[in-house]
Amino acid sequence: MLMAWCGHNEQGCQRCFSRNGRANHVPDEGVDSGTVLAVEEIFFQPGESLEAFEARVHEVEHRLLVETLRRLLAE
């Protein structure tokens, strides 16, 4: 339903998902309900393609995971 409203194109996805984010959290019995360890918000850049946005999301996701693990291991 959401994709039908947003449209299956870059402009529609940018309208619906003008920002995204990644978070690392402590797993618990819920779904994404554990204590948040790190979070970073990612915004669409003007004229950015979905592929470029997705690549940036993955870069943040990977970097954030490594940074979180390093911080936890140092504690």
- With cut-offs at 50, 70 and 90, classify the pLDDT of residue 27: confident
> Per the structure, how many domains does the chain have?
1
Q: Give pLDDT tens digits for 35-75.
A: 888 988 888 888 888 788 888 888 999 999 999 999 999 98
In-domain check, residue 3: no
Higher pLDDT, 9 or 41: 41
Residue 8 above 70 pLDDT? no
In-domain check, residue 13: no
Alpha-carbon distances of 43 from 36, 38, 52, 57, 58, rounded to whole Å: 20, 17, 12, 9, 13
What number is the average pLDDT over the span 7-14?
Answer: 58
In-domain check, residue 44: yes
In-domain check, residue 24: yes
The per-residue pLDDT for 12 is: 58
CA count, 13 A, side-chain hemisphere, 56:
15
Strands 36-43 and 19-25: antiparallel
In-domain check, residue 11: no
In-domain check, residue 64: yes
In-domain check, residue 54: yes
Say how far apart CA 6 and CA 39 lie, in whole Å: 25
